[in-house]
Amino acid sequence: MKVMQLVITVAGQDRLELIEELTRIIKECKCNILESRMTELGTEFGAHFLVDGNWNHIVKLETGLEAMAGRNKLKISTLRAKESRPEDENVIPYGVDVFASDHIDNIHELVSFFTKRGIKIIDVSTSRYPAPYSNTPLLVARMIVKIPTAIRIVSLRDEFLEFCDQQNLDAILEPVKR
């Protein structure tokens, strides 16, 4: 039987048993979780899954998720993934860690820096919290980018540091270590 992949996005009110119920439905439909990200967002919950399974198991999972969405007042979207493509061979994954005073344009400017240079962003995680002692809003961001091997890392790092100085960001750009 042909193995298919399904992308699942879940949003709704957070509750204790939600992750357990989602993973149980996936297991009962005999699908495998390949990747997942689940988090509490304020009082709400958000999750992304990439699962695979035989076509009949994927169809069963789609039906099960639709029923779960109705029972729990969740928004669940599914998308059948296209055939997987071979990994880019001419890129190097880099991690970007940013710490700064929180300003409304920080994330957009950071993302624009990379996209304008043809660098694909594959993961972004941000959070905001008050600084100790002063309560100044601070931003912490973590990104994973794929830098094409044609780009000179030394030049990119210099441009990035200049950009960070202009934006008043404290940041690190370094290869992803596994």
87: part of which helix (H) or strand (E)?
A: none
CA dist 76 to 23, 35, 170, Å?
A: 14, 17, 37
Residues of the chain with CATH 3.30.70.260: 3-80, 91-175
Q: Strand ranges (DSSP E) for 27-158? A: 32-41, 44-54, 75-80, 91-101, 120-130, 137-148
Per-residue pLDDT of the chain (178 residues; tens, 9 = 90+): 678 999 999 999 998 899 999 999 999 999 999 999 999 988 999 999 999 999 999 999 999 999 999 999 999 999 999 865 655 578 999 999 999 988 878 899 999 999 999 999 999 999 988 888 998 889 999 999 999 999 999 999 999 999 999 999 999 999 998 6
Topology of domain 3-80, per CATH? Alpha-Beta Plaits (3.30.70)
Q: What is the pTM of this model?
A: 0.76
The pLDDT of residue 53 is 95
Give CA–CA dist 156/152, Å, rounded.
6
Could you tell me which CATH number the domain at 91-175 has? Answer: 3.30.70.260
